[in-house]
Amino acid sequence: MSETTYTVTGMTCEHCIASVTEEISEIDGVTAVAVDLPTGGVTVTSTTPIDQADVRNAVEEAGYRLAA
């Protein structure tokens, strides 16, 4: 099991959280996604470590940006 927290910019409401969560959840191996709206923190739990590029693609697919 692996857990990594990313920072996503541009999320402003519950709909934004839903979009980001949905896209990241589609990555193979992801078992949970938790978003903290005020900080933009997105914690991704997965069965094995996942590629940050995949997370970045998912976040951008949802219309947002990975901060780092």
DSSP code, position 61: H
Q: 59, 26 in Cβ contact below 8 A?
A: no
The one among 8, 16, 20, 55 contacting a copy of itself by CB under 8 A: 16
| Residue 38 contacts a copy of itself per CB under 8 A | no
Least distance from a copy of itself to the Cβ atom of residue 55, Å = 21
| Residue 48 contacts a copy of itself per CB under 8 A | no
| Residue 24 contacts a copy of itself per CB under 8 A | no
Q: 10, 27 in Cβ contact below 8 A?
A: no
